[in-house]
Structure 1
Amino acid sequence: MQQFAQTTHWNFGQKLAFRFISVFFALFIFPFPLNIIPGINEIVEPYNDLWSWMVSWVGSNILGIEQTITLVFTGSGDKLYDWVQNFIILCLTLIIGIVWTILDRKRPNYEKLKQWFVLFLTYYLVYFMFVYGIIKLFYLQFVPPNLERLMQTFGQASPMRLIWTFMGFSESYTMFSGFSETMAGVLLMFRRTRTLGGLVAFGVMLNVFMMNMSYDVPVKLFSAQLMLMGLYIACLDFKRLMNFFIFNKTVGPSIHKPLFKSKTGQIILLAIQVVLIGYIIINQVMVSMEGRERYGSEREKPAFYGVYNVETYISNSDTIPPLTTDSVRWEHMLVDYPAFTSIIKMDGRLQRYNSKIDTVNQKFVFTLPSDTVNQYELYYKLKDKDIRLSGILQGDTINVDLKYYPLENFALLNRGFNWVNEVPYNRYNYDH
């Protein structure tokens, strides 16, 4: 009871810190969980529209940004829109925190509000630990290097492409990362393990944040905020952690007050949590299972899957020599996905064609992504695994001899794992 009595009256610093922290995270988190519940997520559209207006107005009138700021979902969390929105959140946090402090000076504590806030914050963090964790457990966020990546050099890759290839190469490491994030979510769900869950979430997200910062992955803002959430939840037990890890003192159990005194209230709250977590897990597992078959490691492979080196390229009856400056002649053809075929030109440029392979009439049907009306038919002949293509492509009559390149020649694919290594296998495979 002594510990509880000490927490019933907060000093000015405690109250001030809670006001600012709770306002900042609440502005950042809301409208969760409304925006993830099917059927009602549309009701938050006016709120999103309000944010779009504020970002545009503040960016133009306060920050002096001349370009139009619009919310476009590109996969980046570090868009100009996001930076301006976070600037507004910081300003609103300062304003609301000051007004709250002035109007509510005499309140002794925010114990009950803090309980609700921590629960709200915790389940937001749980949601994203499961989202990012489960997708990695299904080996989806980072997938095995496709044929384009295998044929392009490290020097051509952006830092983000490099880290995506590094992670995607190893299914075991990717799944370990997913397990760590998922385990953080599981630990956060229970009051007895919430402090440990906060520590694990902080450690996991610190690593993610540093990777994002070091490899220019545009999720820097979001990963930093998830990291800070984990740190805040862990620091709720700051004194006990310091006594245990630093001062080597005996630490008693933490005291938890239930949000509801009645059994009925506790049961209803527990039921809501179970339904929410169940929905999150089931939905993410189903999405991941579908994605694994659609674009993951179990995706459909097209006919003639593989890498083909161009031995002869004849265009309009002229044999084109393999000059590295040539932007027309093919160097490689990559058949990797059923919906498109990749062509690497001699100068290293990549050209993708939407494609269908007609094995009955023995032809490739190409269309440009920017022009799906005009179709180009290239008929093929097989000799073992080698291919000869003939037809008209974008106004040119071409005849191309393609030699199959065994994927076993890629050291990245055939090295595997070895317990015993007499010498480090740190090399580059020059076999073409």
Structure 2
Amino acid sequence: MNASASLPAVYWNTGQLIAFRFFTLLFTLFILFNPNMVAFVYPFWMLVKIPVGWLTNLAAQWIFHIGLPLNDKISGSGDRLIDFMHLFVAFALSVLGTVVWSVVDYRRRSYNQALYWVTVLVRYYLAITMFEYGMVKLLKWQFPDLTASKLSQRYGDSSPMGLAWRFLSYSTGYNYIMGFAEISGGLLLLYRRTVTLGAMLTFFVALNIMAINYCFDVAVKILSTALVMMSFFLLVLDARPLIRFFILGQPAGAPVKLKPEFKQRWINVTSLVLKCLVLLLVAGMTTSTIIKYEYAKYKSTEVKPGYYKVVNYREPGRPQTQTNMDPARWQKVMLTHDSLSVYIAGGVRIACACNIDAAGNQLICFKPNANETDFTLKYKTLKTGNLSLKGVFMRHQMVAKLAFQSAYHSDTTLLLNRGFHWINEAPFYK
């Protein structure tokens, strides 16, 4: 195999050799330890999960004096303690591996051929990650429309991340722009001739994401930082022509791109087939996710958001007379696509965040206060939009039948009614 590279010399200097070894190991281990974004990495992660877990616990206990076990429960956060420990282990192994690699392979003068495959790994990881983030923005999954509970919440009660999410959720057009930029960067990374342009676009898009994550305390700081570093790594390969063109204002010429040339035709064909299979796999998984989401969204329309009157309420195992006199008895319910508010005797309102799981016919509710736990209520849709609910609420086993009264209309707020104006004689700030 012959490969050419956009490097200043045939032989690399010591700094280039050491940097290549270190970042090759670091990027490979980071991708291996974070398989959630790229599904076909997951089988490889399963092969090393046990030894990595052992090293992570060892580092946590003996170096950082952290009590075990570490929480590995999926919570939607990419910045858990265990994620930072995985990052430390990847960094430590990369440093150790670089030292060993440098000693064993000290005669090596360049890694032109290996560099090509490292760039392929980084390019495809970046591209697939950008595809996924871009699609969830185009479909408005990451930043869904503002709903009742969000519109009724005070600014001062928002977390920094919640404030950023509400800002980004407001504009569908802005979601399209973000999604288009991320998908465009991913597509450009798939082809050698457009890698530099794709890396530039991906770098600035990822840099903006990283800035939001750091400044608004969004729990995806590790991944966004890695995306910036990987994009910068691809740009460094073309540093000289980029500096000549953008800074010195001189003709730069097209950089020579790394390209393997195999003598055996079947290897070229196989590599092309593998590339197509990867792209088809990503496209198939994305399509499958879209279909499942849209089906769940369609089913969720069976549950009408609005106000409900409680026509029947009982607690199994307790006499009906005691249930009716219980101050915790339900009186009225307000249900939206992301919240559940229960009005009990005495006019007390208990509100909690709630997701409608249409596939499982259940309301997944999150603890209304620090003294309670998350809970799930099974629902069944009845005629005329009525509902029956069954489950444990506030530590009480309950069954309730709800009669639909009126819909909740969130579009009465100024935020959703203001709209867009070309001409403003004065800033409309309120």
TM over 0.5: yes
1:419 partner amino acid:
W
Q: How many residue pairs were aligned?
A: 390
Instruction: Write out per-residue CA displacement over residues 134-183 of structure 1, whole angstroms, 9 at most, x where no aligned residue.
Output: 11111111100121112222222211122111111211111211111111
Which residue pairs with 1:13 in the alignment? 15
Which residue pairs with 1:335 in the alignment? 335
Instruction: Write out per-residue CA displacement over residues 163-210 of structure 1, whole angstroms, 9 at most, x where no aligned residue.
Output: 111111211111211111111100101111101111111100110011
% identity of equivalent residues: 26
Change (3 A) 1:47 1:224: same
1:421 Cα deviation (Å)?
A: 2.4
Which residue pairs with 1:425 in the alignment? 428
Unaligned runs of 5+ in 1: 310-315, 321-327, 386-403, 428-432
Which residue pairs with 1:120 in the alignment? 121
Which residue pairs with 1:166 in the alignment? 167
Q: How does 1:22-421 map to 2 (within 5 A)?
A: 22-30=24-32, 41-42=42-43, 44-262=45-263, 263-295=265-297, 300-302=300-302, 304-306=304-306, 333-337=333-337, 341-343=340-342, 350-351=351-352, 354=377, 355-359=379-383, 364-365=388-389, 367-368=391-392, 373-378=397-402, 380=403, 382=405, 385=406, 406-421=409-424
- In the alignment, the residues of structure 2 paired with residue 58 and residue 219 of structure 1 have an alpha-carbon distance, to the nearest angstrom, of 22
2:253 partner amino acid:
G
1:272 Cα deviation (Å)?
A: 1.0
Structure 1 stretches of at least 4 aligned residues deviating more than 6 Å after TM superposition: 1-5, 31-35, 328-332, 344-348
SS of the aligned residue for 2:300 comes to: coil
2:270 partner amino acid:
I
2:13 partner amino acid:
N
1:49 Cα deviation (Å)?
A: 2.0
Q: Which stretch of the first structure deviates more once superposed, 285-294 or 362-371?
A: 362-371
Change (3 A) 1:174 1:344: farther
Unaligned runs of 5+ in 2: 310-322, 355-364, 366-376
1:13 Cα deviation (Å)?
A: 1.2
SS of the aligned residue for 1:7 comes to: coil
- In the alignment, the residues of structure 2 paired with residue 132 and residue 73 of structure 1 have an alpha-carbon distance, to the nearest angstrom, of 19
Q: Which has the higher contact order (CA 8 A, sep 6+)?
A: 2
Instruction: Write out per-residue CA displacement over residues 60-93 of structure 1, whole angstroms, 9 at most, x where no aligned residue.
Output: 1222112421322111111110111111111111
Q: Which stretch of the first structure deviates more once superposed, 417-426 or 13-22?
A: 417-426
**Contact persistence 2:143–2:168 (CA under 8 A):** yes
TM-score, normalized by length of structure 2? Answer: 0.80
- Two-structure CA RMSD over aligned residues (Å): 3.5
1:37 Cα deviation (Å)?
A: 5.6
**Contact persistence 1:307–1:407 (CA under 8 A):** no
**Contact persistence 1:365–1:377 (CA under 8 A):** yes
1:426 Cα deviation (Å)?
A: 2.1
SS of the aligned residue for 2:335 comes to: strand
SS of the aligned residue for 1:30 comes to: helix
TM-score, normalized by length of structure 1? Answer: 0.79
1:273 partner amino acid:
K
